[in-house]
Amino acid sequence: MNKKANSGLKIICLNRKASFNFFFEDLIEAGIVLKGSEIKSIREGKVNIADSYAVEKEGEIVLVNSHIAAFKQASYSNHNPTDERKLLLNKKEINKLIGKMQRDGFTLVPTKMYFKKGKAKIEIAVAKGKKQFDKRATKKNRDWNREKARHIRKSS
Per-residue pLDDT band at 1 (split at 50, 70, 90) = very low
In terms of C-beta density within 10 A (0-12 exposed, 13-18 middle, 19 or more buried), how is residue 83 classed? middle
CA distance 135 to 153: 27
Residue 75 pLDDT greater than 80, yes or no: no
Predicted structure pTM score = 0.77
Compute the average pLDDT of residues 25-48: 89
Domain boundaries, the chain: 9-130
Q: Are 100 and 126 in contact (CB under 8 A)?
A: yes
Residue 29 pLDDT greater than 90, yes or no: yes
Q: What is the pLDDT of residues 107-140, one digit of tens each?
A: 999 999 999 998 999 999 999 888 888 888 888 9
DSSP code at position 104: I
Q: Which residues contact 143 (CB under 8 A, 6 or more apart)?
A: none
Compute the average pLDDT of residues 54-78: 86
Tell me the fold of 9-130.
Small Protein B; Chain: A; (2.40.280)
pLDDT at residue number 7: 66
Greatest mean pLDDT among 28-32, 38-42, 43-47 lies in 28-32
Percent of the chain clearing pLDDT 70 (strictly above)? 96
Short-list 78, 77, 59, 60, CA closest to 69: 78
Greatest mean pLDDT among 1-5, 17-21, 87-91, 129-133 lies in 87-91
Compute the average pLDDT of residues 23-42: 89
- What string of DSSP letters covers 24-64? EEEEEEEEE---HHHHHHHHTT-EE-TT-EEEEETTEEEEE
Comparing 76 with 70, the larger pLDDT belongs to: 70
